[in-house]
Structure 1
Amino acid sequence: MWLLLSSVYVAFLGLIDLVIDLIAINYYRVNATTLGLLASLWIFVYAVISRLASRVAENKGSKLLIMVSIPVTLTLLASLFSLGNFYHIIISQILHAFSVALVRNSISITILNSLESEDWNYANRIFFQLSMFFEGIFLYAISSLSLTFLIDSSTIFSAIFLSAGLLLFLLMPSSRLSLSRDLFRVEKNVNSSLSTISILSSIGYEPLYTPSKARMLSRMLETRNTLSVGDVLTSVIGFRLSNSFFFTPLAFIFLRVLGMSSEFVLAVYGIAKILASVSLSFFPNHMGRGLAVTTLLLRLLIMTLFVSSVLTRSYELIIALTLTYLFNIALDAKLYSLYIEASLANSPSTYSIVSELSNMIGSLVSGYLIVLGGLTTTLVSITMTSLVSLKALIKNGS
């Protein structure tokens, strides 16, 4: 029950993420450059708070993070819906990153400490799918009511969130980081020739939809001889940069380039997330080299069609965005597993740091690309960085 409620809670925060962008574009008339600056600010705050939150959870328990996130998010809603001045958007962005970091760390740590180790991947996958599904439901519901209705009903909205937060706090198992028998058993089962795996670092950043750890560990030694950590991190940088170049200005492209309404954008995002969350159940758990390369090239094709404004009909946009979500999840999982294999599970936090830095730089630059050369520059940048991300996928032997 607590995992289901956690998914709803995180889905609510996901809804607010897009709402902040829409309000910034519609009410404060921000350009693509400012949108990129806001996105990079979000990533920076999230990275810093995530590291602090994990330490707090270790000493005080993960439930405390949920309790702290409630007033933080209520303050965020008050600031966002007040429509005072642009500084309220900056404050909202910071508080949103703060709250998301607290909640995600709390849920990840609770899963680690309250479930058996063999259930971790399953629980993370279910949590991820449910979060995406409920976020899609919320987005579509708001699109039916209108963004203005959401702003005018902010008090009711805040009350619903407060109730959900308090209920989650009551139902969530008490959890403190410790050398539990599950963590002990995992460390003992890892071959003594391998470096010790930092379970917290791995689970804390690991994409929530990944191949099994047993498969990754069984292929480490053979992969080590053909694929270097540098190869994988180069691909990760290219993958993250291309994602940022595409997703950061996407709402701006919808509203300013394609001339769509906020309600239409909410509906497209919502339906795409619902379809993607359901489709994940039928997506393969492991991708070989051929499928991984094909997936990345198809992802590049879809992004190209988006940025080139070729896709204009609602069903085209929904299908394309759904596939982009699916391909990103699969490729993220693939790159993470390749990193674990190539590094012999040593310093998985490096993957997190490189990814966060790449996301922050990509978000920061994305707006300037549009200013400097329009969407053509964005398209060229997405293409180049996507091709860079092919390196590890091609060198991977399976």
Structure 2
Amino acid sequence: MKLKFNKLILISLLVFNLIPYFKVKADKEDFDLYNEEIQSSSLIDTSSEEIKREFKVLIEDLFTKRNTAIVSADSELLKEFYDLKIKVSLWAYESEAKKTQYLINWSEKQSVKFKDLKSIVRIRKVAEKEPGLYGIICDVATDFNYYYVDSPETINHFRLGTNHYLNLRKQDDRYIITKEWYTDPFADSLDLNNIKSDEIKSYILSQTAPEYTPSEKIQKAIEYAHKYCGVSEDEEFTFKYNPGYKDHNPDGGDCANFASQILFEGGGFKKNGTWNYAGKEGTKAWLNAQGFKNYMVSSGRASYIAKGSYQNIYKAAFNLIPGDFVAYEKKGRITHVSTVTGFDSKGYPLVTCHNTNRLLVPYDLGWSNDNIKFHLIHVHY
């Protein structure tokens, strides 16, 4: 299904053949209606600063409850935000509950516990669609803190970015969610239910973070990635990409574009006829995930460490170092690439990327179910 969405709405909401798509399992009629609503000139823009502040408080409360539900594994906390008698509102609630269960499954596999989560919300637009019904477009950056079960004193941290469109209806003294769509960083692994994790847990817990000092080029690549990932911890850049490059999310995804930027702007790799970007347009090797991976390996600028399902490569992944990248294969094609920019306290590789914006996220989070193959690639700086 192809739909044309306003580029100012949900960055990478419909990323063709790339991670994550929609959060609720609505049908084509729902999506067509949503598309019409988004682009309709009849929407009354009520995005005054006062209105934005009011809804910012409301949305922040929503995400505080969602984050508490993840930490406590209690999706009942979410029900106050939904009308479970409305089909799409029920679907949105069920998807949140399913995501919560995925995170429980992943943390069990990883032998970690989430300590606390905190979300930063930026309201981009509030539109009154009819009396008492509001459409809200917002960006959210969520900080995840976790620790390994054998070392609770050591806290690890990562940040995820999501772009949301919500319909909120005033109901008595509260607002309820009647519809919600957003880029879901866990969409490809929500069926991670039966992974045999005892051996995996034992192996991860036996690891320690390596003593590693990056070269000057790799350090610059790391710094560039962390600054322009879209969820930077520098407040000035939290919701920003490098304005010198086009955001290619609406064109099909920006992950390879960002990985290429990291190598060129940070790592000092030189452009050529095959791998090139100019005038805010790039070659296939620069912009396309499959093309990027193929070029890097075939050109000798990178080489394989391992390839296969998570259960086949998780040990080899500890050979990744900052500056390397992970390519994710789904249904025979590379659909996403992420750059390694750090380690956690067990030496587990952490990646930074675009699409669903990520900063120092465990490389398999959202990708570790059986239908995904990992390509672990070492880059020759």
TM exceeding 0.5: no
Task: Give 1 or 2: higher helix fraction.
Answer: 1
Larger RCO of the pair (alpha carbons < 8 Å, separation 6+): 1
Q: Please report the TM-score for the alignment, with normalisation by the length of structure 1.
A: 0.31
Q: Scaled by the length of structure 2, what TM-score is found?
A: 0.32
Give 1 or 2: higher strand fraction.
2
